[in-house]
A and B are shown apart, each in its own frame.
Chain A
Protein backbone atom coordinates (compact mmCIF):
# COMPACT_ATOMS: atom_id res chain seq x y z
CA UNK A 1 0.00 0.00 0.00
CA UNK A 2 2.85 2.41 0.80
CA UNK A 3 4.09 2.18 -2.79
CA UNK A 4 0.73 3.47 -3.96
CA UNK A 5 1.26 6.68 -1.99
CA UNK A 6 4.82 7.01 -3.29
CA UNK A 7 3.58 6.68 -6.87
CA UNK A 8 0.92 9.33 -6.20
CA UNK A 9 3.56 11.68 -4.75
CA UNK A 10 5.87 11.19 -7.73
CA UNK A 11 2.96 11.58 -10.16
CA UNK A 12 1.92 14.93 -8.65
CA UNK A 13 5.59 15.94 -8.69
CA UNK A 14 5.92 15.07 -12.38
CA UNK A 15 2.80 17.10 -13.20
CA UNK A 16 4.45 20.16 -11.65
CA UNK A 17 7.84 19.32 -13.09
CA UNK A 18 6.59 19.05 -16.67
CA UNK A 19 4.39 22.12 -16.35
CA UNK A 20 7.10 24.24 -14.75
CA UNK A 21 9.89 23.03 -17.03
CA UNK A 22 8.06 23.75 -20.29
CA UNK A 23 7.15 27.25 -19.16
CA UNK A 24 10.57 27.99 -17.65
CA UNK A 25 12.52 27.15 -20.82
CA UNK A 26 10.13 29.22 -22.98
CA UNK A 27 10.06 33.01 -23.03
CA UNK A 28 7.79 34.19 -20.21
CA UNK A 29 5.65 36.09 -22.72
CA UNK A 30 4.03 32.82 -23.84
CA UNK A 31 2.71 32.07 -20.35
CA UNK A 32 1.83 35.74 -19.89
CA UNK A 33 -0.40 35.53 -22.99
CA UNK A 34 -2.19 32.47 -21.56
CA UNK A 35 -2.54 34.22 -18.20
CA UNK A 36 -4.02 37.35 -19.76
CA UNK A 37 -6.75 35.19 -21.28
CA UNK A 38 -8.17 34.60 -17.78
CA UNK A 39 -8.66 38.37 -17.23
CA UNK A 40 -8.11 37.85 -13.51
CA UNK A 41 -5.01 39.74 -12.44
CA UNK A 42 -3.93 43.39 -12.85
CA UNK A 43 -1.26 43.92 -15.54
CA UNK A 44 1.71 44.40 -13.20
CA UNK A 45 0.84 41.19 -11.32
CA UNK A 46 0.36 39.25 -14.57
CA UNK A 47 3.97 39.89 -15.55
CA UNK A 48 5.29 38.98 -12.10
CA UNK A 49 3.20 35.80 -11.98
CA UNK A 50 4.25 34.83 -15.52
CA UNK A 51 7.90 35.12 -14.53
CA UNK A 52 7.75 33.50 -11.07
CA UNK A 53 5.08 30.77 -11.16
CA UNK A 54 6.90 28.47 -13.64
CA UNK A 55 9.94 28.37 -11.33
CA UNK A 56 7.76 27.65 -8.29
CA UNK A 57 6.06 24.83 -10.20
CA UNK A 58 9.42 23.45 -11.26
CA UNK A 59 10.80 23.44 -7.71
CA UNK A 60 7.63 21.92 -6.21
CA UNK A 61 7.89 19.21 -8.86
CA UNK A 62 11.55 18.47 -8.14
CA UNK A 63 10.97 18.41 -4.38
CA UNK A 64 8.00 16.06 -4.66
CA UNK A 65 9.74 13.67 -7.03
CA UNK A 66 12.79 13.53 -4.75
CA UNK A 67 10.70 13.54 -1.59
CA UNK A 68 12.54 16.53 -0.18
CA UNK A 69 10.58 18.73 2.26
CA UNK A 70 7.63 16.57 1.26
CA UNK A 71 5.11 18.06 3.69
CA UNK A 72 5.93 21.63 2.68
CA UNK A 73 5.98 20.75 -1.03
CA UNK A 74 2.60 19.00 -0.75
CA UNK A 75 1.16 21.98 1.07
CA UNK A 76 2.51 24.33 -1.64
CA UNK A 77 1.09 22.04 -4.33
CA UNK A 78 -2.32 22.09 -2.61
CA UNK A 79 -2.21 25.91 -2.49
CA UNK A 80 -1.28 26.04 -6.19
CA UNK A 81 -4.08 23.66 -7.19
CA UNK A 82 -6.55 25.73 -5.14
CA UNK A 83 -5.35 28.85 -6.97
CA UNK A 84 -5.67 27.15 -10.36
CA UNK A 85 -9.23 26.05 -9.54
CA UNK A 86 -10.19 29.60 -8.54
CA UNK A 87 -8.63 31.18 -11.65
CA UNK A 88 -10.04 28.65 -14.13
CA UNK A 89 -13.39 28.53 -12.30
CA UNK A 90 -13.93 32.29 -12.40
CA UNK A 91 -13.17 32.27 -16.14
CA UNK A 92 -15.74 29.53 -16.73
CA UNK A 93 -18.36 31.29 -14.58
CA UNK A 94 -17.78 34.59 -16.43
CA UNK A 95 -18.08 32.78 -19.75
CA UNK A 96 -14.60 33.76 -20.92
CA UNK A 97 -13.80 31.90 -24.13
CA UNK A 98 -10.63 29.87 -23.48
CA UNK A 99 -9.63 27.30 -26.06
CA UNK A 100 -7.28 25.62 -23.61
CA UNK A 101 -5.88 26.22 -20.14
CA UNK A 102 -2.26 27.11 -20.93
CA UNK A 103 -1.16 24.98 -17.97
CA UNK A 104 1.49 22.95 -19.78
CA UNK A 105 2.58 25.51 -22.36
CA UNK A 106 2.40 23.99 -25.82
CA UNK A 107 3.24 20.42 -24.84
CA UNK A 108 -0.17 19.31 -23.65
CA UNK A 109 -3.49 20.96 -24.50
CA UNK A 110 -6.32 20.57 -22.01
CA UNK A 111 -9.64 22.45 -22.21
CA UNK A 112 -10.48 24.49 -19.06
CA UNK A 113 -13.39 22.20 -18.15
CA UNK A 114 -11.01 19.25 -18.14
CA UNK A 115 -8.30 20.99 -16.19
CA UNK A 116 -10.62 22.05 -13.38
CA UNK A 117 -11.56 18.39 -12.82
CA UNK A 118 -7.88 17.42 -12.97
CA UNK A 119 -6.93 20.16 -10.50
CA UNK A 120 -9.69 19.18 -8.09
CA UNK A 121 -8.63 15.52 -8.21
CA UNK A 122 -4.98 16.51 -7.73
CA UNK A 123 -5.90 18.72 -4.77
CA UNK A 124 -7.65 15.77 -3.12
CA UNK A 125 -4.58 13.61 -3.75
CA UNK A 126 -2.36 16.24 -2.09
CA UNK A 127 -4.63 16.37 0.94
CA UNK A 128 -4.64 12.56 1.21
CA UNK A 129 -0.84 12.49 0.92
CA UNK A 130 -0.55 15.12 3.66
CA UNK A 131 -2.79 12.93 5.84
CA UNK A 132 -0.66 9.86 5.06
CA UNK A 133 2.64 11.73 5.09
CA UNK A 134 4.76 8.94 6.55
CA UNK A 135 3.67 6.59 3.75
CA UNK A 136 4.21 9.30 1.11
CA UNK A 137 7.75 9.78 2.43
CA UNK A 138 8.77 6.21 1.59
CA UNK A 139 11.61 6.32 -0.94
CA UNK A 140 12.29 9.96 -0.22
CA UNK A 141 15.27 12.11 0.65
CA UNK A 142 13.31 13.16 3.72
CA UNK A 143 13.57 9.62 5.08
CA UNK A 144 17.35 9.64 4.53
CA UNK A 145 17.95 13.22 5.65
CA UNK A 146 15.63 13.73 8.62
CA UNK A 147 15.41 17.21 10.11
CA UNK A 148 16.85 17.64 13.59
Chain B
Protein backbone atom coordinates (compact mmCIF):
# COMPACT_ATOMS: atom_id res chain seq x y z
CA UNK B 1 0.00 0.00 0.00
CA UNK B 2 2.81 2.39 0.91
CA UNK B 3 4.46 1.71 -2.45
CA UNK B 4 1.16 2.53 -4.19
CA UNK B 5 0.91 5.82 -2.32
CA UNK B 6 4.46 6.78 -3.23
CA UNK B 7 3.78 5.94 -6.86
CA UNK B 8 0.55 7.96 -6.87
CA UNK B 9 2.39 10.88 -5.25
CA UNK B 10 5.09 10.86 -7.92
CA UNK B 11 2.46 10.60 -10.67
CA UNK B 12 0.48 13.52 -9.23
CA UNK B 13 3.60 15.71 -9.02
CA UNK B 14 4.64 14.85 -12.57
CA UNK B 15 1.12 15.40 -13.89
CA UNK B 16 0.90 18.84 -12.23
CA UNK B 17 4.29 19.87 -13.62
CA UNK B 18 3.45 18.50 -17.08
CA UNK B 19 0.11 20.36 -17.21
CA UNK B 20 1.66 23.70 -16.22
CA UNK B 21 4.67 23.25 -18.52
CA UNK B 22 2.36 22.27 -21.39
CA UNK B 23 0.14 25.29 -20.90
CA UNK B 24 3.19 27.55 -20.72
CA UNK B 25 4.58 26.17 -23.97
CA UNK B 26 1.24 26.35 -25.81
CA UNK B 27 0.22 29.82 -24.64
CA UNK B 28 3.57 31.62 -24.60
CA UNK B 29 3.95 34.01 -27.53
CA UNK B 30 7.12 35.51 -28.97
CA UNK B 31 8.30 39.08 -28.70
CA UNK B 32 8.09 40.60 -32.17
CA UNK B 33 11.11 42.38 -33.62
CA UNK B 34 11.39 46.14 -33.32
CA UNK B 35 10.08 47.81 -36.43
CA UNK B 36 10.76 51.34 -37.58
CA UNK B 37 7.68 53.00 -36.13
CA UNK B 38 7.47 56.51 -34.70
CA UNK B 39 7.51 54.91 -31.28
CA UNK B 40 11.19 54.04 -31.42
CA UNK B 41 14.07 56.20 -30.25
CA UNK B 42 17.85 56.03 -30.23
CA UNK B 43 20.51 54.29 -32.27
CA UNK B 44 18.97 51.23 -33.96
CA UNK B 45 22.39 49.56 -33.89
CA UNK B 46 22.82 50.14 -30.18
CA UNK B 47 24.06 47.24 -28.06
CA UNK B 48 21.22 47.67 -25.56
CA UNK B 49 17.76 47.29 -27.04
CA UNK B 50 14.79 47.99 -24.78
CA UNK B 51 11.21 47.10 -25.66
CA UNK B 52 8.91 48.78 -23.16
CA UNK B 53 5.24 47.98 -22.56
CA UNK B 54 3.70 51.07 -21.06
CA UNK B 55 0.48 52.15 -19.39
CA UNK B 56 0.41 55.95 -19.40
CA UNK B 57 -1.58 56.09 -16.15
CA UNK B 58 0.75 53.79 -14.23
CA UNK B 59 2.84 55.88 -11.78
CA UNK B 60 5.86 53.56 -12.02
CA UNK B 61 5.80 53.92 -15.82
CA UNK B 62 6.36 57.66 -15.33
CA UNK B 63 9.31 56.86 -13.05
CA UNK B 64 10.57 54.35 -15.60
CA UNK B 65 10.39 56.93 -18.40
CA UNK B 66 12.53 59.34 -16.36
CA UNK B 67 14.96 56.53 -15.57
CA UNK B 68 15.38 55.52 -19.23
CA UNK B 69 15.68 59.15 -20.31
CA UNK B 70 18.47 59.57 -17.78
CA UNK B 71 20.33 56.52 -19.14
CA UNK B 72 19.77 57.62 -22.77
CA UNK B 73 21.14 61.08 -21.97
CA UNK B 74 24.24 59.53 -20.42
CA UNK B 75 24.67 56.81 -23.08
CA UNK B 76 23.09 58.26 -26.25
CA UNK B 77 24.54 55.74 -28.71
CA UNK B 78 24.20 52.66 -26.57
CA UNK B 79 20.43 52.40 -26.06
CA UNK B 80 17.58 51.84 -28.49
CA UNK B 81 14.04 52.14 -27.15
CA UNK B 82 10.91 50.64 -28.70
CA UNK B 83 7.70 51.70 -26.95
CA UNK B 84 4.56 49.53 -27.04
CA UNK B 85 1.14 49.99 -25.48
CA UNK B 86 -0.23 48.02 -22.57
CA UNK B 87 -3.17 49.99 -21.09
CA UNK B 88 -4.43 48.25 -17.96
CA UNK B 89 -8.17 47.89 -17.35
CA UNK B 90 -7.75 49.26 -13.82
CA UNK B 91 -6.67 52.68 -15.23
CA UNK B 92 -9.65 54.40 -16.80
CA UNK B 93 -7.66 56.96 -18.82
CA UNK B 94 -4.86 54.62 -19.93
CA UNK B 95 -6.48 53.69 -23.26
CA UNK B 96 -7.34 57.23 -24.28
CA UNK B 97 -3.84 58.40 -23.28
CA UNK B 98 -2.42 55.69 -25.55
CA UNK B 99 -4.70 56.87 -28.37
CA UNK B 100 -3.46 60.45 -28.05
CA UNK B 101 0.16 59.24 -28.06
CA UNK B 102 -0.45 57.03 -31.09
CA UNK B 103 -2.16 59.86 -32.98
CA UNK B 104 0.63 62.25 -32.04
CA UNK B 105 3.00 59.67 -33.46
CA UNK B 106 1.21 59.86 -36.80
CA UNK B 107 2.19 63.52 -36.84
CA UNK B 108 5.76 62.59 -35.78
CA UNK B 109 5.18 63.93 -32.27
CA UNK B 110 4.92 60.66 -30.35
CA UNK B 111 7.78 61.41 -27.98
CA UNK B 112 6.63 64.98 -27.34
CA UNK B 113 3.19 63.70 -26.33
CA UNK B 114 4.65 60.71 -24.47
CA UNK B 115 6.82 63.00 -22.36
CA UNK B 116 4.13 65.55 -21.52
CA UNK B 117 1.50 62.91 -20.67
CA UNK B 118 3.87 61.16 -18.27
CA UNK B 119 5.39 64.32 -16.78
CA UNK B 120 1.94 65.70 -15.96
CA UNK B 121 0.38 62.35 -15.06
CA UNK B 122 -0.72 63.48 -11.60
CA UNK B 123 -2.65 66.41 -13.03
CA UNK B 124 -4.91 64.30 -15.30
CA UNK B 125 -5.02 60.86 -13.66
CA UNK B 126 -7.82 61.82 -11.28
CA UNK B 127 -9.83 63.99 -13.67
CA UNK B 128 -13.21 62.84 -14.96
CA UNK B 129 -12.51 63.70 -18.60
CA UNK B 130 -8.83 63.39 -19.40
CA UNK B 131 -9.41 64.07 -23.12
CA UNK B 132 -9.86 67.80 -22.47
CA UNK B 133 -6.48 67.87 -20.73
CA UNK B 134 -4.83 65.86 -23.52
CA UNK B 135 -6.31 68.30 -26.08
CA UNK B 136 -4.46 71.11 -24.31
CA UNK B 137 -1.21 69.12 -24.37
CA UNK B 138 -1.77 68.40 -28.08
CA UNK B 139 -2.24 72.10 -28.90
CA UNK B 140 0.84 73.01 -26.86
CA UNK B 141 2.78 70.32 -28.74
CA UNK B 142 1.82 71.91 -32.06
CA UNK B 143 -0.37 69.08 -33.32
CA UNK B 144 -2.88 69.59 -36.12
CA UNK B 145 -6.11 69.26 -34.12
CA UNK B 146 -8.25 68.33 -37.11
CA UNK B 147 -6.01 65.42 -38.00
CA UNK B 148 -5.77 64.47 -34.33
CA UNK B 149 -9.55 64.25 -33.91
CA UNK B 150 -9.90 62.21 -37.10
CA UNK B 151 -7.20 59.86 -35.87
CA UNK B 152 -8.79 59.53 -32.41
CA UNK B 153 -12.13 58.49 -33.91
CA UNK B 154 -10.47 56.04 -36.32
CA UNK B 155 -11.03 52.42 -35.25
CA UNK B 156 -7.58 51.57 -36.59
CA UNK B 157 -5.99 53.65 -33.82
CA UNK B 158 -7.66 51.67 -31.05
CA UNK B 159 -6.83 48.53 -33.04
CA UNK B 160 -3.10 49.29 -32.98
CA UNK B 161 -3.25 49.67 -29.19
CA UNK B 162 -5.34 46.55 -28.63
CA UNK B 163 -3.01 44.49 -30.83
CA UNK B 164 -0.04 45.73 -28.83
CA UNK B 165 -1.80 44.83 -25.58
CA UNK B 166 -2.75 41.39 -26.87
CA UNK B 167 0.83 40.74 -27.95
CA UNK B 168 1.91 41.76 -24.44
CA UNK B 169 -0.60 39.39 -22.85
CA UNK B 170 0.57 36.56 -25.11
CA UNK B 171 4.17 36.95 -24.00
CA UNK B 172 3.17 36.92 -20.33
CA UNK B 173 2.95 40.58 -19.39
CA UNK B 174 0.60 41.17 -16.47
CA UNK B 175 1.74 44.46 -15.02
CA UNK B 176 3.51 47.64 -16.05
CA UNK B 177 6.13 48.80 -16.62
CA UNK B 178 7.48 45.64 -18.24
CA UNK B 179 10.66 45.80 -20.29
CA UNK B 180 12.49 43.38 -22.54
CA UNK B 181 16.15 44.32 -22.45
CA UNK B 182 17.99 42.48 -25.21
CA UNK B 183 15.13 39.99 -25.00
CA UNK B 184 15.28 39.48 -21.24
CA UNK B 185 12.02 40.23 -19.41
CA UNK B 186 12.31 42.73 -16.59
CA UNK B 187 9.38 44.05 -14.53
CA UNK B 188 9.67 47.23 -12.46
CA UNK B 189 12.23 49.96 -12.04
CA UNK B 190 14.60 48.24 -9.63
CA UNK B 191 15.38 45.42 -12.04
CA UNK B 192 15.44 47.84 -14.99
CA UNK B 193 18.22 49.81 -13.32
CA UNK B 194 20.10 46.67 -12.31
CA UNK B 195 19.96 45.26 -15.84
CA UNK B 196 20.97 48.52 -17.53
CA UNK B 197 23.81 49.02 -15.04
CA UNK B 198 24.99 45.51 -15.77
CA UNK B 199 24.83 45.86 -19.57
CA UNK B 200 26.35 49.34 -19.63
CA UNK B 201 29.03 48.51 -17.10
CA UNK B 202 27.81 51.13 -14.65
CA UNK B 203 28.70 51.00 -10.95
CA UNK B 204 25.34 50.63 -9.22
CA UNK B 205 24.00 53.72 -7.47
CA UNK B 206 23.45 53.75 -3.72
CA UNK B 207 20.13 52.44 -2.37
CA UNK B 208 18.86 55.94 -1.70
CA UNK B 209 18.96 56.66 -5.43
CA UNK B 210 17.25 53.47 -6.48
CA UNK B 211 13.52 53.44 -6.89
CA UNK B 212 11.49 50.39 -5.94
Given contacts A29-B187, A59-B13, contact A36 B212 (CB under 8 A): yes
What is the CB-to-nearest-CB distance from B93 to chain A, in angstroms, rounded to a whole number?
16
> Which of B20-28, B43-51, B110-118 makes up part of the contact surface?
B20-28
8 Å CB interface, A91-137 against B: 105-106, 109
Identity of the chain A residue whose Cβ is nearest the Cβ of B187 in the assembled complex: A33
A4–B17 alpha-carbon span in the complex (Å) = 30
Verify B175–A147 contact, CB threshold 8 A: no
What is the CB-to-nearest-CB distance from A93 to chain B, in angstroms, rounded to a whole number?
17
Verify A25–B23 contact, CB threshold 8 A: yes
Indicate the size class of the contact surface on chain A. 20 to 34
Given contacts A27-B172, A58-B16, A59-B16, contact A36 B4 (CB under 8 A): no
Residue B1 contacts which of A32, A36, A37, A145 (CB distance < 8 angstroms)? A145
What is the CB-to-nearest-CB distance from B203 to chain A, in angstroms, rounded to a whole number?
17
What is the CB-to-nearest-CB distance from A30 to chain B, in angstroms, rounded to a whole number?
5
A148–B6 alpha-carbon span in the complex (Å) = 11
Most buried by B among A109, A145, A148: A145
Residue B185 contacts which of A29, A59, A145, A148 (CB distance < 8 angstroms)? A29
Residue B174 contacts which of A24, A26, A37, A69 (CB distance < 8 angstroms)? A26
Residue B24 contacts which of A25, A39, A68 (CB distance < 8 angstroms)? A25
Identity of the chain A residue whose Cβ is nearest the Cβ of B5 in the assembled complex: A145
Verify B172–A36 contact, CB threshold 8 A: no
What is the number of residues of chain B that contact chain A, defined by CB distance less than 8 Å?
A: 27
Verify A36–B190 contact, CB threshold 8 A: yes
What is the CB-to-nearest-CB distance from B90 to chain A, in angstroms, rounded to a whole number?
8
Prevailing SS type, chain A contact patch: helix
Does A8 interact with chain B (Cβ within 8 Å)? no
Verify B212–A37 contact, CB threshold 8 A: yes
Verify B185–A39 contact, CB threshold 8 A: no
8 Å CB interface, A30-88 against B: 30, 32-34, 36-37, 39, 55, 58-59, 62-63, 66, 68-69
Residues in A with CB closer than 8 Å to B172 are 26-27, 30
Verify B27–A145 contact, CB threshold 8 A: no
B 134-146 binary contact with A (CB < 8 Å = 1; else 0): 0000000000000
Most buried by B among A21, A26, A55, A109: A26
What is the CB-to-nearest-CB distance from A27 to chain B, in angstroms, rounded to a whole number?
4
Residues in A with CB closer than 8 Å to B9 are 68-69
What is the CB-to-nearest-CB distance from B154 to chain A, in angstroms, rounded to a whole number?
29
A110–B16 alpha-carbon span in the complex (Å) = 26
What is the CB-to-nearest-CB distance from A148 to chain B, in angstroms, rounded to a whole number?
4
Residues in B with CB closer than 8 Å to A146 are 1, 5
Identity of the chain A residue whose Cβ is nearest the Cβ of B9 in the assembled complex: A68
Identity of the chain B residue whose Cβ is nearest the Cβ of A26 in the assembled complex: B172
Does A15 interact with chain B (Cβ within 8 Å)? no
Given contacts A24-B20, A62-B16, A69-B9, contact A105 B1 (CB under 8 A): no
Does A14 interact with chain B (Cβ within 8 Å)? no
In the A-B complex, list the 10 residue pairs whose CB atoms are closest, starting with the nearest.
A33-B187, A148-B2, A145-B5, A27-B172, A106-B174, A29-B187, A33-B188, A30-B174, A24-B20, A29-B185
* Further 6 A-B residue pairs, CB within 8 A, beyond A25-B27, A33-B191, A146-B1: A30-B187, A34-B175, A36-B212, A37-B212, A55-B17, A145-B1
